[in-house]
Every structure is written in C-alpha cells, then in structure tokens.
Amino acid sequence: MNAADRRGQERVTERAIYSVDPLARLLLDRLGIGPYVMASVALVWGVVFLLVIPATCGCLRSQDGHLGSLEDWHAQLLLLLVFPAACAFYVWQPQAIARVYEAMHVRQRLVDGIGGYRHRVWLWLSIALGIGIVLFDSPKMVANYGSWWMNQNWLAILGREASLAFAFYVLSMMAWRQFVATLEWRRLLPSQTTETGLRAASTYGLSWAFFVALLGLRLSIEAIELPRRAGSITPDYYAKVAAYVIASVGFFCAPMWGALGKDTEFPGHQLRIWLELAGIVALPLLGFLVLRLALGP
C-alpha cells in the first residue's frame, strides 16, 4: 500500500473516531482547522479576554482591593497556555489515535467495530457537563470572588462561563476517546505486540501525559491561589487532583501494561518510557515548588 492509500485509510479511521462529535466534525471536516490554527484561535481569544474586555471596564490593573487582569497570572497561564494546548490537542487527538491503529495494522478491524467511539451517551454527558459547570461556577464566582476582575463586567462573566463550558465539553470528549482507545489497545497490544505498534502507542501516551501535566500545573497554581482568593482550598479541588492522577497515570499504563510486561526485546525502551512518564507526571509538583518558593508563604 502506497503513502496515499495509507493516508486515505488513516483518514477513514480518524473520521470514525470523532464521528459522534458535532464540534469536531465542524472544525475538522467543514472548516479544515488543524492543531496550530486551533491553538492560535484560542490564544487570540485569551488575549481578547485578558486585555480587551478588562480594558472596557477599567479592570486591567489592580485597584481598591480588586485584582486586575494584568496581575492575574493564574488566568494568564490558563488562557495563554493551557487553553490553547487543550484546543490543539482536541483536534489533533483523532489523527494521533488513528496513527497508532495504523502502526498496529488493525485499521479495517477498527472501522468494522468502531462502536465504542460512536456511543452518543458520552456526547450528551459532555454537553451536560458543559452546562453543569456553568451552573456550578456562576453562583460560586459571585459569592466568593467579588474583588476579581472577571466579576466586574457582564462581558467578562459571559466570556468566562462560555470558555468554561467549551473547555469542559472538549476535555470530556477527549477523555472519552482516550478511554475507548485505552480499552482497545489493552486488548490488542498483548496479542499483537510489534515494535512499531508499541512505540506508536507509547509515544502517543507520553503526549497525553504531557498534556495532562499542563492541567496538573494549573492545579498547582490553583492550590496557591485558592487560599488567597476564596480563603481556603475548596472540596472540588481534591476531586480535580484525583482526576489528574487517574488520567495521567491510568490512561498511560493500562493499555501497555500487558505488552510491556512480556516485551523482552526492548528493555531499554521500556525503561526510557517509564522514566519519561515519571518525569512528565512530576512536572506539576516541580511547578508548585518553584512557584511557592518564588511567591513566598
């Protein structure tokens, strides 16, 4: 099979992976938006949200006990780094998963049995999560964050809630794709372990772990900011930490555990993978320690 045929088969698999997701179909099929363009659009929105909207209500700089957007480095990191990375990963993920199947030489089997990716229940759960986070966040923001620039203008409030709804929908759909891929690869890798298939799965797994580490870095910042902004660590923070540990470690280890356990031909490859994973997962802790030392108690 030549390169064009392989790319055609890969594209069929890729479309099957996101077929249930109307937002992904709009971005990838109708608009043809790739990861770099998606990240750029998200970055532009972050700049508008951090600079243009606060400028309309005089909230760029802190004054009279109100935190301004130029001093809100938590929001800056979230909107200028984490949010663009999440948007880029969202449109890149189906292609990356399809390439792993390509490396395993199971393309047709995947297309024939693609039902796991096509369950619409997760679409409705993702929509419900996007709506639910707005209903949960709005009262908390009004009650606890009265001196915050995001709470001083209806455009800022609307932009925050719309960004949250979009982000949680995107994260939920990515988690579903990852969950299905994890189950598939856990079933396929032990019986069909090849060097190319294992390397493709491990490389994708490290990419996923690195992305989740960015979310973990955001949690590290939140642990520093919450006591200053809300007075204490809120209960939902601990649920986020638990979700981070499961997503970063569980989704990486589960599909390759059996394959790596019997892979005696590439022991150095195994060791490198586990060391890289340990380093990536530890990034948020390192970030927390650095920020804590930089900011002081």
pLDDT level of residue 60 (50, 70, 90 thresholds): confident
CA distance 190 to 174: 24
At 69, the amino acid letter reads S
- Read off the pLDDT of residues 26-43 as tens digits, 9 standing for 90 and up: 999 999 999 999 999 999
Longest dimension (CA), the chain: 68
CA distance 186 to 231: 44
* Contact status, residue 197 vs residue 189, Cβ threshold 8 Å: yes
Contacts (Cβ under 8 Å, ≥6 apart) of 80: 43, 46, 47, 50
Q: Which position has the token pair 């096509």?
A: 118
CA distance 102 to 3: 12
Q: What is the mean pLDDT of residues 145-174?
A: 82
The encoded tokens of residue 206 equal 């490290």
CA distance 279 to 210: 9
* Contact status, residue 210 vs residue 277, Cβ threshold 8 Å: no
CA atoms within 13 A on the CB side of 76: 9
Burial (Cβ within 10 Å: 0-12, 13-18, ≥19) of residue 204:
buried
* Contact status, residue 169 vs residue 23, Cβ threshold 8 Å: yes
Q: Do you know the residue count of the chain? A: 297
Contacts (Cβ under 8 Å, ≥6 apart) of 47: 80
pLDDT level of residue 219 (50, 70, 90 thresholds): confident
* Strand ranges inside the chain, DSSP E: none
Indicate the domain borders of the chain: 1-122+145-156, 189-297
- Read off the pLDDT of residues 87-110 as tens digits, 9 standing for 90 and up: 999 999 999 888 888 877 765 555
- Read off the pLDDT of residues 63-76 as tens digits, 9 standing for 90 and up: 776 777 787 877 88
Contacts (Cβ under 8 Å, ≥6 apart) of 207: 96
Output the CA angle 118-122-123, nearest 5 degrees.
Answer: 80
For residue 102, the cross-strand partners are none
Q: What is the mean pLDDT of residues 159-187?
A: 86
Q: What is the mean pLDDT of residues 180-202?
A: 68
pLDDT level of residue 119 (50, 70, 90 thresholds): confident
pTM of the model: 0.80
Q: So what's the pLDDT on residue 122?
A: 87
CA distance 184 to 110: 9
CA distance 217 to 77: 9
Q: Would the CA dihedral through 75, 77, 79, 82 be positive or negative?
A: negative
CA distance 266 to 77: 38
